[in-house]
A and B are shown apart, each in its own frame.
Chain A
Amino acid sequence: MARAVTTNRKIINTTAAWAIGLLIFFPILWTILTSFKTEAQAIADPPIFLGFDWTLENYGVVMERSNYMRFLTNSIIIAGGSTILGIIIAVPAAWSMAFVPSKRTKDILLWMLSTKMLPAVGVLYPIYLLFIKMGLLDTRFGLTIVLMLINLPIIVWMLYTYFKEIPGEILEAARMDGASLREEVLYVLTPMAIPGIASTLLLNVILAWNEAFWTLNLTASKAAPLTAFIASYSSPEGLFFAKLSAASTMAIAPILILGWFSQKQLVSGLTFGAVK
């Protein structure tokens, strides 16, 4: 039964929701705006909202001075690499748990989840030491592996949840028609699973891109991604609000855009399927 909502109430709802939405979004908006100001305008009192001389200068300075492209490349390689590697390892595992469940499947899933809850700081020194011993400290390869491992439980869980929703009858029908296991996975399952794999990919790129414990502690200069690049701005040298804003905007823009596409997956992915 659809109930007519009075226009008045709708206006009140809309106003309240937009006001709160803009308030929550304001720090991001302010950062983006400040990135186009001059340093003097960035700290002007009273603050200038829109009526400033828009400039792209800060972006130029940041890119020139701090070798921004290297940090960006590191972020892309580490976030992308760890996600793709994780998916390659997780797809077969999730597939077998969803379609050939055994008595232990549930225990294995929960155990995987429990590894995700291990506090990183509790194993910081061992990982640090192993990284030194294996020459992995400050390498993109080392960081890619660590981020893959910390996100692997989420990847397995998300894929498992998606695979579970694919009806087993379709697979059985394919098998009856004489499809081999390989054909079944390749031609029947994969096409149906692509949306689920894509959402898993999306969410995990976001999580890996923003990861800020291992990326700060296991890198120095060579393999540092954008999280560490921004952290290097924490000791201010003179006027720098506009440049900080430009650097920040560049670091968050790609993920903000990806994030908007991943709202739905975020919920089931981050609650391990407990809320859908």
Chain B
Amino acid sequence: MATQHSRAAARIMMAPAVFLLLVWMLVPLTMTLYFSFKKYLPLRGGDLGWTGFDNYVRFVTSSSFWPSVQTTLVIVGGVLFITVILGIMLAVLLNQPMWGQGIVRILVIAPFFVMPTVSALVWKNMFMDPVNGLFAHLWKFFGAEPVQWLSQASLQSIVMIVSWQWLPFATLILLTAIQSLDREQLEAAEMDGAQPVQRFAFITLPHLGRAITIVILIQTIFLLAIFAEIFVTTGGAFGTRTLTYLIFQRVLESQNVGLGSAGGVYAIILANIVAIFLMRIVGKNLDA
């Protein structure tokens, strides 16, 4: 249906968005690459010349690198595990007939709309404060010693806060997927004598496979980049320094731009590995 004329028009209409994103991607990326091969300390002498792959080597051999990788993996893995498992259970439950389903849905997804700095600070102070927090009250009520959440169990605390933020996302997407499941198929299985557990394992779960993959991939990309939750709770102390946070500290706090940029290149590569899988699924969907 497209004419020569409309093709040309289409190209012009697409140009601003494509151009802006191209600039937004290429300019900073090129600069990061450029800095990563330099000894560049803005506050201590500025540009001190080329260093080859020195920054790349130093970044991965520094004593804080592997702990930060481990922290990142624990947080991403922990949050994924909790949100996917609970998300599936919650989605199945919310799909059942009940009174006030709409209201429960609203209650469940509400945390997703809370800005990260608010949820981190509310949890840090009103729940996890070792003196006045609700958890401290609860622990004392049962005669236990209150836990210094963000210093003694820092990683678990962060995983908990972030899981609370992302559980709604997982639940909502899985619920949407479950609702597209053919009811008659489930009923046929039930008439053939399949137990609830069998119906879940052999019909519902396979049906959810794609949605689960998408939840995992999208969350991984966002979770690799969590920042505010750590910034306002521990500031990277007590073993909560993720790869993202380490790079942030190198670049803005200690102003070692060359080293931080090399770290940034690693982060970009890591995110791209995850992104490739996600894009493949999304791309297939485009053809359909």
Contacts and interface: CB of A to CB of B under 8 A. Distances in A.
Q: Is B truly associated with A?
A: yes
Interface of A: 1, 3, 5, 9-10, 13-14, 16-18, 20-22, 24-25, 27-28, 30-31, 34, 43, 45-47, 89-90, 92-93, 95-97, 99-100, 102, 106, 108-110, 112-115, 117-130, 149, 152-153, 156, 168, 172, 181, 206, 209-210, 212-213, 216-217, 226-228, 230-231, 233-234, 236, 241, 244-245, 248, 251-252, 255-256, 258-260, 263, 266-267, 270-276
Given A13-B97, A275-B214, 18 more contacts: A1-B184, A9-B96, A14-B100, A89-B20, A96-B14, A106-B283, A125-B251, A130-B28, A156-B17, A212-B115, A213-B225, A231-B231, A244-B122, A260-B106, A266-B112, A270-B169, A273-B286, A275-B177
Given A93-B18, A102-B7, A126-B28, A271 B97 contact: no
Contact of B232 (A92, A206, A231): A231
A149 B28 CA distance: 13
Contact of A271 (B21, B101, B173): B173
Interface of B: 1-2, 5-7, 9-11, 13-14, 16-18, 20-21, 24-25, 27-29, 31-32, 35, 90, 93-94, 96-101, 103-119, 121-127, 132, 134, 137, 140-141, 164, 167-169, 172-173, 176-177, 184, 187, 210-211, 214, 218, 221, 224-225, 227-228, 231-233, 244, 247-248, 251-252, 257, 260-261, 264-265, 267-268, 270-272, 274-275, 278-279, 281-283, 285-287
Given A227-B117, A275-B211, A21 B225 contact: no
Given A21-B108, A22-B107, A124-B247, A46 B141 contact: yes
A176 to B, nearest CB: 11
Interface of A is mostly: helix
B11 A96 contact: yes
A65 B45 CA distance: 41
A93 B121 contact: no
A93 B20 CA distance: 12
B93 A17 contact: yes
Most chain A CB inside 10 Å of its own CB: which residue of B119, B121, B134, B270: B121
22 contacts: A1-B187, A27-B127, A93-B13, A93-B17, A97-B14, A100-B9, A112-B18, A118-B271, A122-B32, A122-B268, A125-B32, A125-B252, A216-B231, A217-B252, A230-B117, A234-B232, A244-B122, A244-B126, A256-B113, A260-B106, A266-B109, A270-B173
B118 A251 contact: yes
B119 to A, nearest CB: 7
A124 B251 contact: yes
A30 B271 CA distance: 36
Contacts of A89: 16-17, 20
Contacts of A127: 28
Given A10-B97, A96-B10, A124 B252 contact: yes
Contacts of B90: 20
A275 B121 contact: no
A132 to B, nearest CB: 10
A108 B11 CA distance: 12
A119 B270 CA distance: 9
A13 B264 contact: no
Interface of B is mostly: helix
A43 B101 CA distance: 34
Contacts of A34: 126
B119 A27 contact: yes
A3 B176 CA distance: 21
Contacts of B105: 21, 263
A209 B114 CA distance: 10
A47 to B, nearest CB: 6
B97 to A, nearest CB: 5
Most chain B CB inside 10 Å of its own CB: which residue of A45, A46, A125: A125
A171 to B, nearest CB: 8
B114 A256 contact: yes
A5 B267 contact: no
A17 B94 contact: yes
B121 A244 contact: yes
A168 B10 CA distance: 15
